[in-house]
Homo-oligomer: A and B are copies of this chain.
Amino acid sequence: MEIKPFTGQPISVLAYDGSPVTNLDSLGISKDEYLSIYRWLVLARAVDDRGYILVRQGRAGFYAQIAGQEASQIGSALPLTKDDWLYGDHRSQGSMLVKGLRAAEWFAHVLGRSLDPSQGRLMPHGPGRNDLHIVPPSSTVGNQITEAVGTAMAQRIKKRKEITIVYFGDGATSEGDFHVGMNFAAVYGSPCIFFCQNNQYAISVRLQEQTHTKTIAEKAKAYGMDGFLVDGNDVLAVYAVSKHCADKARSGNGPSLIEAYTYRYGPHSSADDDTRYRPKGELEMWRNERDPVVRFRRFLEKQKLWNDDKEQKLLAEVKAELAVALEEAEKSPVPEPMTVLDHTYEKLTPHLEWERKELAAELGV
């Protein structure tokens, strides 16, 4: 399978019905790996469903679902090694799970509990984990992009065989940080993958109102960088393109932009009302005809690797696993109020020492 930039049409491996449109051998993926990919897809969706219920139950304040975008996230994160760095955005929990974040930690993050590696410091859109090289995103759309480039610059300065991947949405490409980050990475040949999940909306704003190009991928031309357009609902295509760009970056051949053309099923977040802007039938079309999980399952079935029995077994297994994870998260306590002052600086400044006393008095501790 030859992977070329600026194809105009999304690169794909599977047709919507799951039949391959390219030679699978060239992907070099084993049967076990196919099954593992499917498990990731199912798990990511299940985690997300479970997480969103927490909001509906009033137990969490916010949730941005990834449903519909699982293939983009799983396919792009699988080529990463342990040493590679990952910068997410507010909709990249699927990638974080692949990178090693535990479901229990994710739930704890959603609930704002101590088990959350970020200890309830962030609105639930992605915790960090230093040992996994996952940097927690701020909510400020686009900021992670220049940071990721800094990390990739450092990897190159230190001559490490590592890469950095950074996730962002179609809307984020309008921010200055996208531009500045792309330009820096191209100038320094930084080992970086710019991974754009183009789900066609930035809250209510459609891509055609966001920018005047047909694709995001072609924006790479402004930086002398390669831009790849991939079917974001085709996990094998996303994997193949991401692997290509990861290898390229790792071998010193610089950064790439990947646009994964996909669609989000949920509202922008639990605070959104998507009926205000979504045209009728659009969501149904994507969900019924292009679903990334179903599509890959059809592929497995066609390959005789999957059947209903296996499916039921997997779903039950995942459900049980997540029940345990959620329980672990729920058992974890809410952070101690007195910790609210910690980690502003390495040590409390004198002013914060003073505030610590005030807070202790206020809390009666």
- Measured CB to CB, the residues of A under 8 A from B are 174-180, 183, 186-187, 209-214, 218-225
Instruction: Report the copy number of this chain in the oligomer.
Output: 2
Residue from B177, B180, B212, B223 within 8 A of A212 (CB atoms): B223
Residue from B175, B214, B218, B221 within 8 A of A180 (CB atoms): B175
Nearest B residue to A222 by beta-carbon distance? B222
Nearest B residue to A176 by beta-carbon distance? B176
Q: Is the CB of B218 within 8 A of A221?
A: yes
- 27 CB contacts below 8 A, A to B, read A174-B180, A174-B183, A175-B176, A175-B180, A176-B176, A176-B177, A176-B179, A176-B180, A178-B179, A179-B180, A183-B211, A183-B212, A186-B211, A186-B212, A187-B210, A187-B212, A211-B223, A211-B224, A212-B223, A213-B221, A213-B223, A213-B224, A214-B224, A218-B222, A219-B221, A220-B222, A221-B221
Task: For the complex of A and B, list the 5 residue pairs with the smallest distance between their C-beta atoms, beginning with the closest.
Answer: A176-B176, A179-B179, A212-B224, A222-B222, A186-B212
Residue from B176, B187, B213 within 8 A of A211 (CB atoms): B187
Given contacts A176-B176, A218-B222, list 19 more A-B pairs with CB under 8 A: A174-B180, A175-B180, A176-B177, A176-B180, A178-B179, A179-B179, A186-B211, A186-B212, A187-B209, A187-B212, A211-B224, A212-B223, A212-B224, A213-B221, A213-B223, A213-B224, A218-B221, A219-B221, A220-B222
Q: Is the CB of B225 within 8 A of A222?
A: no
Nearest-CB distance from A330 to chain B (Å)?
42
Assembled-state Cα–Cα distance A220/B221 (Å): 9
Assembled-state Cα–Cα distance A180/B186 (Å): 19
CB contacts (< 8 Å) of A210 on chain B: these are 187
Nearest-CB distance from A174 to chain B (Å)?
6
Assembled-state Cα–Cα distance A212/B225 (Å): 8
Nearest-CB distance from A255 to chain B (Å)?
10
Nearest-CB distance from A189 to chain B (Å)?
8
Nearest-CB distance from A159 to chain B (Å)?
21
Nearest-CB distance from A74 to chain B (Å)?
28
Nearest B residue to A221 by beta-carbon distance? B221
Assembled-state Cα–Cα distance A221/B221 (Å): 7
Nearest-CB distance from A172 to chain B (Å)?
12
Nearest B residue to A210 by beta-carbon distance? B187
Nearest-CB distance from A79 to chain B (Å)?
24
CB contacts (< 8 Å) of A179 on chain B: these are 176, 178-180
CB contacts (< 8 Å) of A218 on chain B: these are 221-222
Assembled-state Cα–Cα distance A180/B214 (Å): 17
CB contacts (< 8 Å) of A174 on chain B: these are 180, 183
Assembled-state Cα–Cα distance A288/B186 (Å): 34
Assembled-state Cα–Cα distance A222/B174 (Å): 11
Nearest-CB distance from A182 to chain B (Å)?
9
